[in-house]
Structure 1
């Protein structure tokens, strides 16, 4: 009788081992890129900086300036600036512009060598040409309307970016003046290559009426300038599209179905086996768990940056995973571990995000696919360095794997 029992037990073990070894597991990595042209990944602080310079012409609008010939009012202008784009549609810059202003004055002491304006409104009204140096520092907020309304496209030839800003305009010529300015303009850029753009910057600045040394009852005065120049874009220059990376395990469905069928058959034969063992004179075995070593293979689900929502694609894979959990060893406990990318976000944010991701997977398995919550244990690791292939996207993930607990 003992020999017969040993043969039956050996046959059970050999059958399980043979079927288990016949299942081929294949790991597939799928990267899905977001096709929404308005949505990109936010870059780091030191990305998307730019440096520009230009030169052009300007004209001053002030008291008595309109009495001069138009050509006599035009003077050279320069423009220097450093800026950064925080997104394809919003950027800031700080810079300086200025040089010389030509206007007219009634005060001969302020005039340019006492030279009279050729164009006089009437004979007894004397105006004199005035020239003075100035500089203007300013800070602007730019709105790239092309990207805001048309979506980001790296190789787009033309972009138009209106801007608003404040500044400080100074002249050290007599009488010295320092005035706060309000600025508005249009920044036009034409792509020359990945690093350089040709630019046309049209700027208007408004300061107090006293800036030119004359109070004429105007609301304000200031220069209107146009500068042609170049801008250099520091790396990183472009914006990445969001992507989702999913690592899935695929099986030989026929072999898996055969294994499950064989396990069920062995489970049905359990009663008969116990009867045989009960008849053995020197052997007492009360329970044989033929599914003791059965478990579902680990699964990894990744998330977009700063997100914890489970995608539909990941839900499909979790459905297969849940089916294996429910059809195999009910005493097997699976650990659901959440992670975040250490390279982005603060430790506090990564701790919260890794916890939310693990809880999201737990809820899908339990609420949507009916996995027994007693078979799941949830934990999180916060932000971690690149776990796989030196790719930070694979650290924005949840890994679920089996733990064998003694019962």
Structure 2
């Protein structure tokens, strides 16, 4: 094989290898059922399981509005009519899922308490009071914890456990021996929550939990250690958008459509290489000039300043080359005479911005030179990278 063939093949093979790797570019944040071209990125498996896309602090937050009832389990409740012990309740909570398996919420509620006097001493009397409480709850998604995470699961069962403070006041003491005016009590909570996914942003929750409090919760203190109220709540959940536009955790994926485009380009270049191997040998006398300059060609679509997807590999090549040169410079210049200065500057700036923003090449080592003659006049021994913009 002659010199030109060897040089061409040597230049093509790094390109082929890189494009093969670039084809597995990860696409963040799009669930698989929303784009059939996105598939799980098998190359990112850990313990034979796909990994999740990274999240930020403000991802996976939600807000919930609840309405329902308290059922009060208090002193002398056994002699009361069950229907009398149900009282209205409403709440608002804000929370965050730290992982698909666990999160937290801060919840405030208002409700009414219901008590019953001992009919043997003061008659069969019912009384009420106001309740305002605030709890911090840990949330555990049982489906994800034991069944593995699945995007867009329609139904999820969760457990919760929390601690908080309850303020009770405004006791209706008419006809009773209750003398308490108000009180602040430490409370503990545990329960279950069923969540039904309505769409990307909304879910409907049904919650059953129990709050355990000091015996003075109902204004009466007997031998019982705890007073309690059961909470039966229905809630509407709104999940805020994440930084990538989703409202949930997502798996890393690759874009099969883009993979197909790059794969076609790889096959085309391989066919060209095979054709060159079969071409008749041509004797070429070449003058070898020693040069330390690395040259890269970058072409654009007609009248466009946007870097074509197939040219991104050349930008990468230029970036890798300049990184290998200590304090080296990179020159962006036209491959031929400029006919549209604004168009050239737009393309050159696009290349410069890509090198700076995507590959962290210092701006002080990137030069845009409209006069190619000045770049061609550089000392061949100067260690640098030259990027030619092709019309």
Is the Cα–Cα contact under 8 Å of residues 96 and 138 in structure 1 kept in the other structure? yes
Is the Cα–Cα contact under 8 Å of residues 38 and 152 in structure 1 kept in the other structure? no
Residue number in structure 1 paired with 2:111: 99
Task: Give aligned pairs, total.
Answer: 271
Find 1:135's aligned residue among 126, 132, 135.
Answer: 132
Alignment of 1:168-247 (within 5 A): 168-173=165-170, 174-236=180-242, 237-243=247-253
For the residue of structure 2 that corresponds to 1:211, the secondary structure is: helix
Aligned counterparts of 1:220 and 1:98: Cα–Cα separation in 2: 20
Alignment pair present for 1:88 and 2:100: yes
For the residue of structure 1 that corresponds to 2:99, the secondary structure is: coil
For the residue of structure 2 that corresponds to 1:210, the secondary structure is: helix
Deviations 1:234-259 (A, max 9, x none): 1121223235799999664658989x
For the residue of structure 2 that corresponds to 1:217, the secondary structure is: coil
Cα 1:66–1:148, aligned 2, differ >3 Å: closer, same or farther? same
Ranked by relative contact order (alpha carbons within 8 Å, sequence separation 6 or more), the top structure is: 2
Deviation at 1:202?
1.3
Is the Cα–Cα contact under 8 Å of residues 335 and 378 in structure 1 kept in the other structure? no
For the residue of structure 1 that corresponds to 2:226, the secondary structure is: coil
Residue number in structure 2 paired with 1:50: 62
Is the Cα–Cα contact under 8 Å of residues 293 and 381 in structure 2 kept in the other structure? no
Aligned counterparts of 2:225 and 2:352: Cα–Cα separation in 1: 64
Residue number in structure 1 paired with 2:23: 30
Cα 1:91–1:16, aligned 2, differ >3 Å: closer, same or farther? same
Which structure has the bigger radius of gyration?
1
Aligned counterparts of 1:68 and 1:56: Cα–Cα separation in 2: 21
Aligned counterparts of 1:96 and 1:132: Cα–Cα separation in 2: 17
Deviation at 1:16?
2.5
Deviations 1:271-294 (A, max 9, x none): xxxxxxxxxxxxxxxxxx989679
Deviation at 1:96?
1.1
Aligned counterparts of 1:153 and 1:177: Cα–Cα separation in 2: 45
Deviation at 1:227?
0.7
Alignment of 1:241-260 (within 5 A): 241-243=251-253, 252=270, 254=274
Residue number in structure 1 paired with 2:83: 71
Find 2:163's aligned residue among 163, 166, 184.
Answer: 166
Aligned counterparts of 1:128 and 1:391: Cα–Cα separation in 2: 80
Deviations 1:304-325 (A, max 9, x none): xxxxxxxxxxxxxxxxxxxxxx
For the residue of structure 1 that corresponds to 2:83, the secondary structure is: helix
Alignment of 1:8-23 (within 5 A): 16-17=3-4, 19-21=6-8
Deviation at 1:20?
2.4
Unaligned runs of 5+ in 2: 27-39, 171-179, 297-319, 328-349, 361-379, 383-391
Cα 1:185–1:217, aligned 2, differ >3 Å: closer, same or farther? same
Q: Using structure 1 for the length normalisation, give the TM-score.
A: 0.54
